[in-house]
């Protein structure tokens, strides 16, 4: 009832207004003319009747209008639904981004034109292909991990993969994948592959240039080093103290330049994917002692205490000595660089289940919490390092991370600013290629 009144409020008010106006008009007419001549009751009845007709018409018009607007809304909504569905279909079909709908196993249920083009197939023949068999990652296990993630219902986003085309051609793409359940209750996935072949080629060209340039720079740097050393050895007494100092400085600069060029070369080789692990017998104790020896000057200058712990049962393992040396050198050099005078560094290795864990811990300047996420990024240096230790490139941890990846390991760290930092590198021992040797 209430809602009827609220719906028909407007015509009721209008009708009341009309009634009052007409009634006023009747009163005026009866005053103007002679009372006795007019039947007031009949006039009132006539006025009330006219008002009722007005109310009924108004109410009818209003409800018609509201019915019509409801219908209009419904038809507009359905029009919109149809057009947005069509819009999505058109977007899916014609998008320049390759889209594929796959089942739980990875078989293609449908693919758009761009996806077929990327795979080098006709659109019709893409259906049924197991897309996972067409994808490759640098690390074989990485693709398995991505597939497992998808099957567990986790989203995969922007992972760099190689896409096998018909023939032996390959493209590079960024893979994103997420699973959902369709209307029939089947678990399916939407997979996108953004083609980045051109960008990858441009990046590779840059890396190749850096690799070539670094390689070429090594020879003249070695020449400069030899010449400066010969100058010192040739006739040491003919040089005065100032000249000695200048040659020492020259040698330090040459050494830094050589290290920088070596780092550039390593970065470009990792980026080009040309760094293959070469497994050999590695004497870890000797390797650690060598690395410690290389930094002895700085350690003495800063009066740093070094504490080592070596698990003798792991002293000889099968691994890549160059990569292991890169890892230990980067961690230990950083520890000596970022530890204050009279600080302490603990370093060593131990067995943890089927892994070897290399640990380097210091009580130095630490890494500010806001920089933790970026610490392995190429050329990144934490704000406190930039302020306190100007000598650094931000390449060491990037190289370390790449070296650890090639050895199928992982690196973690904990750090608190002004308290210290601990890095842990875990490398698998159970791998058939990486067994403990006596």
Residue ranges in contact with ligand ADP by CB under 6 A: 330, 334-335, 338, 362, 364-367, 375, 380-382, 385, 392-398, 421
Token representation of residue 103: 């089942």
| 90 three-class SS | helix
Token representation of residue 19: 């009634």
- Shortest Å distance, C-beta 386 to ligand ADP: 7
Class of residue 73 by CB neighbours under 10 A (exposed 0-12, middle 13-18, buried 19+): exposed
- Cα separation, 194 vs 159, in Å, equals 10
- Shortest Å distance, C-beta 206 to ligand ADP: 20
Residue 143 vs 385, nearer CB to ligand ADP = 385
Characterize 129-148 residue by residue with b for buried, 16 or more Cβ atoms within 10 angstroms of its Cβ, and e for exposed. Answer: bebbebbebeeeeebeebbe
- β pairing state of 156-164 and 355-362: unpaired
- Shortest Å distance, C-beta 380 to ligand ADP: 6
- Shortest Å distance, C-beta 374 to ligand ADP: 9
Residue 50 vs 306, nearer CB to ligand ADP = 306
C-alpha 194: how far from chain center: 15
Residue 126 vs 382, nearer CB to ligand ADP = 382
User: What angle do helix axes 284-294 and 321-338 make, rounded to 10 degrees?
Assistant: 40
- Shortest Å distance, C-beta 227 to ligand ADP: 27
Q: For residue 381, what is the DSSP state?
A: -
Residue 318 vs 424, nearer CB to ligand ADP = 424
- Shortest Å distance, C-beta 254 to ligand ADP: 18
Instruction: Give which of 387, 434, 386 is closest to 409, Cα–Cα.
Output: 434
Residue 189 vs 364, nearer CB to ligand ADP = 364
Residue 268 vs 330, nearer CB to ligand ADP = 330
- Cα separation, 137 vs 166, in Å, equals 18
Residue 63 vs 359, nearer CB to ligand ADP = 359
Instruction: Give which of 259, 234, 260, 265 is closest to 247, Cα–Cα.
Output: 234
- Shortest Å distance, C-beta 376 to ligand ADP: 8
- Shortest Å distance, C-beta 325 to ligand ADP: 15
Residue 51 vs 400, nearer CB to ligand ADP = 400
- Shortest Å distance, C-beta 351 to ligand ADP: 24
Residue 175 vs 367, nearer CB to ligand ADP = 367
- Cα separation, 277 vs 194, in Å, equals 30
- Shortest Å distance, C-beta 332 to ligand ADP: 9
Instruction: Give which of 396, 97, 116 is closest to 263, Cα–Cα.
Output: 396
Residue 150 vs 398, nearer CB to ligand ADP = 398
The HSE-up count of residue 132 (CA atoms within 13 Å, CB side) is: 20
| 404 three-class SS | helix
- β pairing state of 170-181 and 187-195: antiparallel
Quote the Cα angle for 191-192-196, to 5°.
145
């Amino acid at each position: 009832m209430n809602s009827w009144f609220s719906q028909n409020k407007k015509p009721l008010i209008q009708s009341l207004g009309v009634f009052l106006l007409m009634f006023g008009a009747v009163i005026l007419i009866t005053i103007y003319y002679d009372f006795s001549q007019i039947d007031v009751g009949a006039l009132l009845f006539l006025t009330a009747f006219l008002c009722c007709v007005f109310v009924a018409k108004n109410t009818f018009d209003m409800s018609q209008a509201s019915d019509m607007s409801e219908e209009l809304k419904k038809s507009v909504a359905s029009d919109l639904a149809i057009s947005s569905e069509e819009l999505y279909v058109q977007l899916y079909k014609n998008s320049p981004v390759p889209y594929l709908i796959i089942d739980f196993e990875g078989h293609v249920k449908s693919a758009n034109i761009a996806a077929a083009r990327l795979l080098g197939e006709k659109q019709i023949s893409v259906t049924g292909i197991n897309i996972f068999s067409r994808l490759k990652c640098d690390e074989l296990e990485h693709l398995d991990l991505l597939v497992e993630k998808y099957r567990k219902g986790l989203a995969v986003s922007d992972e760099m993969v190689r896409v096998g085309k018909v023939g032996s051609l390959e493209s590079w793409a960024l893979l994103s994948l997420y699973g959902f359940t369709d209307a029939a209750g089947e678990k399916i996935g939407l997979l996108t592959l953004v083609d980045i072949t051109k960008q990858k080629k441009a990046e590779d060209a840059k890396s190749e240039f850096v690799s070539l340039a670094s390689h070429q720079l090594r020879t003249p740097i070695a020449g400069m080093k030899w010449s400066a050393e010969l100058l010192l050895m040739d006739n040491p007494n003919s040089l005065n103290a100032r000249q000695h100092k200048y040659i020492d400085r020259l040698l330090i600069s040459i050494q830094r330049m050589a290290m920088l060029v070596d780092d550039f070369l390593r970065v470009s080789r990792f980026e080009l994917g040309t760094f293959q692990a070469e497994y050999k017998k590695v004497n870890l104790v000797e390797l650690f002692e060598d690395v410690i020896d290389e930094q002895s000057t700085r350690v003495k200058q800063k009066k740093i205490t070094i504490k080592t712990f070596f698990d003798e049962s792991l002293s000889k393992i099968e691994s890549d000595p160059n990569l292991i040396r890169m890892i230990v050198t980067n961690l230990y050099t950083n520890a000596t660089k970022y530890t204050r005078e009279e600080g302490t560094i603990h370093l060593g290795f131990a067995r943890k289940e089927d892994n070897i864990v290399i640990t380097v811990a210091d009580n130095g300047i630490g890494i500010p919490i806001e920089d933790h996420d970026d610490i392995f990024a190429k050329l990144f240096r934490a704000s406190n390092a930039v302020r306190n230790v100007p000598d650094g490139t931000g390449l060491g941890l990037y190289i370390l991370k790449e070296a650890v990846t090639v050895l199928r390991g992982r690196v973690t760290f904990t750090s608190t600013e002004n308290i210290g930092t601990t890095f842990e590198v875990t490398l698998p021992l159970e791998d058939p290629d990486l067994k403990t040797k006596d």
